[in-house]
Amino acid sequence: MNNAVDTDTRLEASVIPENELQALDAYWRACNYLAAGMIYLQDNPLLQEPLQVKHLKKRLLGHWGASPGLSFMYVHMNRLINRDDLNAIFLAGPGHGAPGVIAPVYLEGMYSEVYPDVSQDALGIKHLFRQFSFPGGIGSHCTPELPGSIHEGGELGYSLSHATGAIFDNPDLISVVAIGDGEAETGPLATSWHSGKFINPIRDGAVLPILHLNGYKINNPTLLSRIPHDELEALFIGYGWKPCFVEGDDPMIMHQKMAAAMESCIADIKRLQKQARQSGQAKRQIWPMIVLRSPKGWTGPDFVDGNKVAGYWRAHQVPLTEVHDNPEHLTLLEQWLRSYRPEELFDQEGRLSPSLQALAPQGYRRMSANLHANGGMVKRNLRLPDFRDYAARVGSPATSSAMNTRPLGAFLRDIMQMNNSNFRVFGPDENTSNKLDAIYEVSKKLWLEDYLPEDDNGGELSPDGRVLEMLSEHTLQGWLEGYLLTGRHGFFATYEAFVHVIDSMFNQHAKWLAIAEKLSWRAPIASINYLITSTVWRQDHNGFTHQDPGFLDLVVNKSPSVTRIYLPPDVNCLLSTADHCLRSQNDINVIVCDKQSHIQYLDMDSAIAHCIKGLGIWPWASNDEGEEPDVVMVGCGDIPTKEALAATALLRDAFPTLKIRFINVVDLFRLTPESEHPHGLSDRDFDSLFTTDKPIIFNFHGYPWLIHRLAYRRNNHPNLHVRGYVEHGNINTPLELAIANCIDRFSLAIDVINWVPGLKVRGAHAKQDFRDQQIACLQYAHQHGVDAPEINQWQWPFAPVTD
Amino acid sequence: MNNAVDTDTRLEASVIPENELQALDAYWRACNYLAAGMIYLQDNPLLQEPLQVKHLKKRLLGHWGASPGLSFMYVHMNRLINRDDLNAIFLAGPGHGAPGVIAPVYLEGMYSEVYPDVSQDALGIKHLFRQFSFPGGIGSHCTPELPGSIHEGGELGYSLSHATGAIFDNPDLISVVAIGDGEAETGPLATSWHSGKFINPIRDGAVLPILHLNGYKINNPTLLSRIPHDELEALFIGYGWKPCFVEGDDPMIMHQKMAAAMESCIADIKRLQKQARQSGQAKRQIWPMIVLRSPKGWTGPDFVDGNKVAGYWRAHQVPLTEVHDNPEHLTLLEQWLRSYRPEELFDQEGRLSPSLQALAPQGYRRMSANLHANGGMVKRNLRLPDFRDYAARVGSPATSSAMNTRPLGAFLRDIMQMNNSNFRVFGPDENTSNKLDAIYEVSKKLWLEDYLPEDDNGGELSPDGRVLEMLSEHTLQGWLEGYLLTGRHGFFATYEAFVHVIDSMFNQHAKWLAIAEKLSWRAPIASINYLITSTVWRQDHNGFTHQDPGFLDLVVNKSPSVTRIYLPPDVNCLLSTADHCLRSQNDINVIVCDKQSHIQYLDMDSAIAHCIKGLGIWPWASNDEGEEPDVVMVGCGDIPTKEALAATALLRDAFPTLKIRFINVVDLFRLTPESEHPHGLSDRDFDSLFTTDKPIIFNFHGYPWLIHRLAYRRNNHPNLHVRGYVEHGNINTPLELAIANCIDRFSLAIDVINWVPGLKVRGAHAKQDFRDQQIACLQYAHQHGVDAPEINQWQWPFAPVTD
Band of pLDDT at residue B801, cut at 50, 70 and 90: low
Which B residues in the span 74-113 are in contact with A, Cβ-Cβ below 8 Å? Answer: none
Residue A483 has pLDDT above 70, yes or no: yes
CB A508 within 8 A of CB A481: no
CA separation for the pair B303, B289 (Å, rounded): 32
Which A residues in the span 346-405 are in contact with B, Cβ-Cβ below 8 Å? Answer: none
Average pLDDT value over all residues in chain A: 96
Residue among B233, B471, B708 whose CB faces A217 most closely: B471
Q: Which residues, at least 6 apart from B638, have a Cβ–Cβ distance to it below 8 Å?
A: B404, B535, B567, B568, B569, B570, B593, B594, B598, B701
Q: Helices A571-583 & A604-613, crossing angle to 10 degrees? A: 50
H or E stretch at B174: strand B173-180
Phi, psi of A609 (to 5 degrees): -60, -40
Instruction: For B188, name the nearest residue in chain A, comparing CA atoms only.
Output: A187
Band of pLDDT at residue A14, cut at 50, 70 and 90: confident
Phi, psi of B422 (to 5 degrees): -145, 25
pLDDT tens readout for residues A519-552:
999 999 999 999 999 899 999 888 999 999 999 9
Same domain (yes/no): A150, A178 = yes
Band of pLDDT at residue A182, cut at 50, 70 and 90: very high
Is B605 a domain residue? no
Instruction: For B468, name the nearest residue in chain A, comparing CA atoms only.
Output: A220
> What pLDDT is attached to residue A2?
37
All residues of chain A having their beta carbon less than 8 Å from the beta carbon of residue B219 are 429-433, 460, 469
pLDDT tens readout for residues A612-643:
999 999 999 999 987 999 999 999 999 999 99
CA separation for the pair A553, B216 (Å, rounded): 34
pLDDT tens readout for residues B252-276:
999 999 999 999 999 999 999 999 9
Band of pLDDT at residue B4, cut at 50, 70 and 90: very low
Of B406, B592, B422, which is closest to residue B490 (Cα–Cα)? B422
Distance from CA of B461 to the nearest CA of A (A): 8
Name the residue range of residue B527's domain: 403-598
| N-to-C CA span, chain A | 74
Same domain (yes/no): A369, A392 = no
CA separation for the pair A82, B663 (Å, rounded): 65
Which B residues in the span 519-558 are in contact with A, Cβ-Cβ below 8 Å? Answer: 541-546, 548, 550, 553-554, 556-558
A199–B contact, CB cutoff 8 A: no
pLDDT tens readout for residues B745-764:
999 999 999 999 999 889 99
Contact between chains at A458 and B307 (C-beta distance less than 8 A): yes
CA separation for the pair A510, A518 (Å, rounded): 13
A469–B contact, CB cutoff 8 A: yes
Q: What is the CATH number of the domain that holds A683?
A: 3.40.50.920
pTM above 0.90, yes or no: yes
Number of H helices, E strands in chain B: 26, 22
pLDDT tens readout for residues B271-314:
999 999 999 999 999 999 999 999 999 999 999 999 999 999 99
DSSP of A717-742? GGGEEEE---S--SS--HHHHHHHTT
Report the pLDDT averaged over residues A35-63. Answer: 97
A782–B contact, CB cutoff 8 A: yes
- Domain boundary among the residues A329, A345, A373 is at A373
CA separation for the pair B443, B420 (Å, rounded): 9
A454–B contact, CB cutoff 8 A: yes
pLDDT tens readout for residues A687-732:
999 999 999 999 999 999 999 999 999 999 999 999 999 999 988 8
Same domain (yes/no): B623, B538 = no
What's the total number of domains in chain A?
A: 3
Same domain (yes/no): A637, A780 = yes
All residues of chain B having their beta carbon less than 8 Å from the beta carbon of residue A472 are 185-187, 190
A708–B contact, CB cutoff 8 A: yes
Report the pLDDT averaged over residues B320-331. Answer: 97
Residue among B188, B543, B782 whose CB faces A143 most closely: B543
Residue among B134, B218, B239 whose CB faces A235 most closely: B239
Report the pLDDT averaged over residues A396-423. Answer: 96
Instruction: For B444, name the nearest residue in chain A, comparing CA atoms only.
Output: A220
Is A686 a domain residue? yes
All residues of chain A having their beta carbon less than 8 Å from the beta carbon of residue B97 are none
Same domain (yes/no): B346, B372 = yes
A57–B contact, CB cutoff 8 A: yes
Is A658 a domain residue? yes
> What pLDDT is attached to residue A803?
46
pLDDT tens readout for residues B531-544:
999 899 999 888 99
Beta-strand pair B660-665/B615-617: antiparallel
Residue A786 has pLDDT above 50, yes or no: yes
B456–A contact, CB cutoff 8 A: no
CB B195 within 8 A of CB B205: no
pLDDT tens readout for residues B204-254:
999 999 999 999 999 999 999 999 999 999 999 999 999 999 999 999 999
B2–A contact, CB cutoff 8 A: no
Is B392 a domain residue? no
Which B residues in the span 234-273 are in contact with A, Cβ-Cβ below 8 Å? Answer: 234-240
Which of the residues A557, A672, A775 would you substitute to probe the B interface, choosing the one with the greatest number of B C-beta atoms within 10 Å? A557
Residue among B471, B511, B546 whose CB faces A545 most closely: B511
Same domain (yes/no): A163, A248 = yes
Contact between chains at B155 and A545 (C-beta distance less than 8 A): yes
B736–A contact, CB cutoff 8 A: yes
DSSP bridge partners of A292: A212, A246
Same domain (yes/no): A642, A542 = no
Residue B3 has pLDDT above 70, yes or no: no
Same domain (yes/no): A369, A407 = no
Band of pLDDT at residue B433, cut at 50, 70 and 90: confident
All residues of chain B having their beta carbon less than 8 Å from the beta carbon of residue A449 are 221, 223, 226-227
* Residue A795 DSSP one-character state: -
Which of the residues A57, A534, A545 would you substitute to probe the B interface, choosing the one with the greatest number of B C-beta atoms within 10 Å? A545
Is A607 a domain residue? no
CA angle B435, B440, B446 (to 5 degrees): 115
A190–B contact, CB cutoff 8 A: yes
- Domain boundary among the residues B571, B598, B625 is at B598
CA separation for the pair B71, B219 (Å, rounded): 23
B54–A contact, CB cutoff 8 A: no
Average pLDDT value over all residues in chain B: 96
pLDDT tens readout for residues B179-213:
999 999 999 999 999 999 999 999 999 999 999 99
All residues of chain A having their beta carbon less than 8 Å from the beta carbon of residue B235 are 234-235, 237-239
Same domain (yes/no): B716, B675 = yes
pLDDT, greater one: A9 or A69: A69
Distance from CA of B65 to the nearest CA of A (A): 15
DSSP bridge partners of A588: A528, A563
Same domain (yes/no): A430, A563 = yes
Q: What is the CATH number of the domain that holds B305?
A: 3.40.50.970
> What pLDDT is attached to residue B13?
57
Same domain (yes/no): B331, B410 = no
Report the pLDDT averaged over residues B425-454. Answer: 93
Is A2 a domain residue? no
B497–A contact, CB cutoff 8 A: yes
CA separation for the pair B777, B781 (Å, rounded): 6
Same domain (yes/no): A356, A404 = no
DSSP bridge partners of A635: A664, A699
Is A445 a domain residue? yes
Contact between chains at A543 and B139 (C-beta distance less than 8 A): yes
Is A603 a domain residue? no
Distance from CA of B782 to the nearest CA of A (A): 6
Instruction: For B702, name the nearest residue in chain A, comparing CA atoms only.
Output: A557
